[in-house]
Amino acid sequence: RFPRRRSGRLFRRAHPHRSAQPAPAHGRLAGMSGLRFEVLIPHGQIQQRVAELGRQINADYAGRSLVMVGVLKGSFMFLADLIRHIDVPLRIEFIGTRSYEGTTTSGQVQLTKDLDRPIVDEDVLLVEDIIDTGLTLNYLSHLLEQRQPRSLKTVAFLDKPSRRRIDVHGDYVGFTIEDRFVIGYGLDFEQRYRNLRDLCVLVP
């Protein structure tokens, strides 16, 4: 079963605001999926926030260069949009992990793909789709710290603090959301729905 929907607020870090009620999803995928989902954060609002994050990162890393490490597979769409707003020199690396099967976390993080090049003495920005239990971020942070970067920070599209099992946080966060199972904008359910433009909630 999917987690029960809850009403309430959606907060963006440092700028709390009341969210609109989830709107029904329309279009080809909604009709073909066999599941119902509702829009939680529309595409336009996502793009506005991603641009804000890009400007903040530009200011913080002015005069430096970056290695941006995308966590596969969920972060690929967020990473692709984010780098369009970053002006400092950068290169892209990918790292892969697995901890979920369907809607359930195993509690154990497995490395499925490692970096292609060293990050010694580099400024590294880890790009996550979502921070929930904190297990993946904790695992990757320790792993990358062992590679001796000059600095290591994290930017996450989403944060679910109510799910936290380890005390970790993102240095840059797009949106803070309630404990709801979300899909779209790179996030999946059983490897489907990553191509939804909006961030959506699965409806039981």
Structure tokens of 14? Answer: 């440092």
Structure tokens of 169? Answer: 């946080």
Q: Which residues are catalytic?
A: 132
Identify the residue whose tokens are 């829009």.
Answer: 39
Cα 14 to Cα 198: distance, rounded to the nearest angstrom: 22
**62 — phi, psi (to 5°)?**
-60, 135
Q: How far apart are the first and last CA of the chain?
A: 7
Cα 117 to Cα 115: distance, rounded to the nearest angstrom: 6
Tell me if 76 sits within 8 A of 91, measured CB to CB: no
With b meaning 16 or more CB within 10 Å and e meaning fewer, what string describes 176-186?
bbbebbbbbbb
